[in-house]
Structure 1
Amino acid sequence: MTQSMFIVWRESVEALLVIGILQAWASRQQQASRLLRYVWAGTALGLLLSGVLAGLIVLAGETMSGAANEWFQASLALIASVLIVQMVSWMHRNARTLKHDLTRDADQRLSRQGGLGLLVLALLAVSREGSETVMFLYGAGARLQGPSLGLFAIGAAAGLVLSLLTVYVLHGSRRFISWPRFFAISEAILLLLGAALLVSGIERVGGQLLAMDWPEAVYRGIGEGLWDSSTLLDDGHGLGGFLADFAGYRASPSALTLLVWLGYWLVVVGWLRPRKTENLPCLT
């Protein structure tokens, strides 16, 4: 539930920010009411496109069975993890000029293609956020069934409500939290979630590799735990379960899981370190 709530909350805030920038720009133009209709039409089409993607992914997952389904779900979890790192990196590079870039693109598209160009810009912006949300949610909830899946859906709905409240607070007052601080905190949590998705995907891959013919040393590296800290912090419930969902913690990690988890953080720190000195600006 907490995973889906955070994913929808973070992605919806970013989508609402983009829509708000385009709406504010359109409101200052001539024929503002007509341009606003194009913005909202593009937004609706972007949401529809994201919904179609979600349906196709679910359909593909239900069509496959056995090993094929495991490989499919593992692939989506791994792709979602990579997308999270890519998205955080993109925000580090572009947050400072996001508003300027969007309004410049809107000006160019309006002059070249009229309202249709503005519609396409809104569609692409919203469908990108929606597609990322679909990938993240499927990667995080692929194994859930029954009541757990219901809680996952409730968390997603709660995340949407929370995103509306967050945007209202960020636009209305910066005494509690500013846009730069919001993005810094949410990106840190996203990177933790990326690690959890990576571990989940690797464990699925490991499960399939164990069914193949490998030397004994490979089986030990994939399937045997290096230690067992479940007596101190069980990854099945409580704080340990929360850390497992949000950071990829395992009480008894295999050598493969540990190496992948450590490699993930080495890559993330090395990739993002040059940009850590950049302060995110106010995006309103």
Structure 2
Amino acid sequence: MSGNMIQIVLVVWRESIEALLVVGILSAFLMRQPAAARRKGLAYLRAGIIAGLLLAMLIAGVILFVGEWLDGDRQDYFQAMMVFVAAALIVQMVFWIRSHGRQMQQALESGAGKALAAANGWGLLLLAALAIAREGSETAIFLYGILASSGESLDAAAIVAIALGFGAALGCYLILQAGARAVTWRVFFRVSEAMLLILACSLLMSGLDRLISLDLVSPLSAPLWDTSWLIDDGQGIGGLIASLTGYRARPELLPLLVFAGYWLAAVILLGGGKRWRVAAAS
């Protein structure tokens, strides 16, 4: 399996887990309600899931239509932009989950409770639809960014990777819901955060490579070194590592600065920045 296909599996796995988690939280909340409210709520929940999936498919169709409608340089610019948008959304998702993940269940149950208290099943439908549409639309953007970064299309291999990602997500969700002690939700989110940050870095570097190839930015120097004798980023295991992590065997100055700056910012904002704030406050 190529690096891009592994990226697709990872994205679909992570986004599907979040969508399943939303559905699981709302379902568990409804199961604690009286029989009449439970039946009505579950019907609206199912309708919300379907509506959210349809909305996500609509957004994906718009993205694909725009990408195909543009031609020449405009298509190249659009695809480069979508690569950066996908990278930015992945990073934003990691930080959002880190900041609000603990309150997600409370917020979802609160919204569902208000909808049931008002005898308004449409509120529950809208809550589920928006949550599912958010995950689905993000997945569409991520997949387009991954495929655009490599110049590939949604072929049979990509569809298989999507199916594998969803199957893996469903398996992980069932294991975690069963209360497996070996892997808790906290461990899952921490591991997936690291994997997503690596994926975002890879997309960032691919987008930068495209901007350089389009002569929109300067690499600022000739290649600073050459480690292709050790790990060739153009083929074999080296190509896999490059597509997954953003590794470059012959980096110019600008890609090197962007790569280093990305990881420095990630470390400071996710870990070191918090410790510095605590130290300053004390």
**TM-score computed with the length of structure 1 as normaliser:** 0.88
Residue 66 (1) aligns with residue 72 (2): yes
Q: What is the aligned counterpart of 1:18 among 11, 22, 30?
A: 22
Q: Please name the residue that 1:221 is paired with.
A: 220
Matches within 5 A, 1:79-228: 79-112=85-118, 114-142=120-148, 143-145=150-152, 149-209=155-215, 219=218, 221=220, 224-228=222-226
Aligned residue runs from structure 1 range 41-80, under 5 A: 41-80=47-86
| SS of residue paired to 2:220 | helix
Question: 2:17 corresponds to which letter in structure 1?
Answer: V
Partner Cα separation in structure 2 for residue 185 and residue 135 of structure 1: 22
5+ unaligned residues in a row in structure 2: which ranges? 276-282
User: How many correspondences in the alignment?
Assistant: 268
> 1:248-272 deviations in whole A, cap 9, x for unaligned?
1111122221111112112212221
Would the aligned equivalents of 1:7 and 1:136 in 2 still touch at CA under 8 Å? yes
Measure, in 2, the Cα distance between the counterparts of 1:80 and 1:275.
26
- So what's the TM-score if we normalise by structure 2? 0.89
3-state DSSP class of the match of 2:126?
helix
Indicate the residue corresponding to 1:269 in structure 2: 267
Letter in 2 for 1:19: V
SS at the partner of 1:168?
helix
Question: Is the 8 Å Cα contact of residues 46 and 125 (structure 1) preserved in structure 2?
Answer: yes
CA distance in 1, matches of 2:151, 2:8: 12
Shift of 1:230: 1.1
Deviation at 1:209, TM superposition (A): 2.2
> Which residue in 1 is equivalent to 2:255?
257
Moved more, 23-32 or 71-80: 23-32
Once the two structures are TM-superposed, the CA of residue 239 in structure 1 deviates from its matched residue by: 3.0
SS at match of 1:209: coil
Identity %: 43
Decide whether the 8 Å contact of 1:4 with 1:153 is kept in 2. Answer: no
Q: Which of residues 224, 235, 238 in structure 2 aligns to 1:237?
A: 235
Shift of 1:220: 5.4
RMSD: 2.0
Structure 2 partner of 1:215: none
User: 2:233 & 2:164 partners in 1: Cα distance?
Assistant: 25
